[in-house]
Structures are given as C-alpha cells and as structure tokens.
Chains A and B, each alone.
Chain A
Amino acid sequence: MKVELSTVLTVLSIFAIILGGITWTLGKFLTDKKDKLTLIFEIDRLKEKMKELETDTGKINLIERELDIIKEQIKHL
C-alpha cells in the first residue's frame, strides 16, 4: 500500500497540533499551581517571621489561623 506524502504530513501536523495544545494547557495549569505555591510559601515565611515577634501570643495565634485559612483558600482556587 502506497501512502501519499501529503497524507503523512497531514497526520503528523494534526498530531503536532494536538500535542502542542495539550502541552500548552498543561503548562498553563502547572504555572497557575506554581503561582499558588509561591503565595503559600510567602504565607509560611510570614508565619515564621511572626513567631520571632515577641508580642501578644493570643493575637499572633489569631493571625496565624487567619493565614492558614487564606492558605487553604489559595489551595482550592
């Protein structure tokens, strides 16, 4: 069976377009996830800094809880 060159090129082009689309979508999804992780890291860093503060522990705990809630919200965005 003889296969035309144009058929091979068309099939290859379709595969390339599908693969490109999947890669692009995956890249966008993972970049969004990375941005969320960066925010979570910043919150963790803020919490670490707060532990170093020598002020009212009750207030610090309250803020820490608020930050944990924000972290959870970011995870579920």
Chain B
Amino acid sequence: MKRNTKIKIAYISVYIFFLIISFMFEFNPGKVIGYNFISFLVYMLKILPCAFILIGLFEVWVKKEVIEKYLGEESGIKGYSLVILLAGTIAGGLLVAFPVTYSLYNKGAKLSIVFTYIGAAAICRIPMTLYEASFMGVKFTAIRLLISLPLVIITSILLGEYLTKRNYKMAEDK
C-alpha cells in the first residue's frame, strides 16, 4: 500500500471515530458536521454514478480523431462554441467537469478548450442558468454570462498557450 493511501485511511478513520463519539455523547458540533457530511455524500452519490458512466461510454465510443478534429489544435471558434454547448448541457458543475475534461484531453482536446470547458461548466449550465434567472432576474443572469464567458475564453486561451509552451501535461492514469 502506498504511503499516501495510508495517510488517507488514517484521517478518514479519525474523522469517522470523531463522528461516532460525537453521536454517542451528544456532542453538538460533531453531530452537525456528521449531518453535513451525510447530506453531501448523498448528493454526490446521486450525481457521480451517471457522470462516470457517461465518461465510460465516451471513452469507448468517441474516436480520438473526432475530438482532435473538433477540439484539437486546429479547432477555432467552432471548437470553443462546441465545448461551451457541451459544458452547458452536462449536469454536475466543477466536480464532474474535472474527470470529463480529463477524458477530453486524453482524446486530443487542446488545453485552452479544456479550461474553457471547466469555466463554462461552472458558470453556464443551461438548467442552472434558468433556475438562477428565476430567482435573480434575467438582467442579473444575462450580465453575469455576457461578462464572464468572454473572460473565461480569453483567460483559457492565455493559460493554454502558456502551459503548452512549458510542455505541461495533465496527470497520467486517473
């Protein structure tokens, strides 16, 4: 077993032990933390299986050449539009975006496209945007999108180019 894994097991055990003790002795902060943990765990377990199944299907069905053609080095404005549309329709926000972009990257998408996907997944998922507008008003949501989306694309291009020059590679085998 790797050292890292051992550390993880150690603090997860300490944490669970703390929760059990808190519930046994009616220690309130510990109980609140416990309820927070459980409610978020349930939330995650609702989203993640779908996300990972879709990623699995993507890996077996989508050919590398297709991604390279539409989202690779040669892709222009169309690539950015396509990736924003893709990010806008996939649920789950940042957490799901990381493994998704990892698959995109390994299939040949360029870095600026990867970062644009992450930004867009955070700010302009279509269902979330509609929900937001119903609480905050269309004007608020429209301003937020019209300002942040171009900024996301520009910074993604800059960051992508900077990292490509430095021969940056995403982590292997995740």
Partners in one complex: no
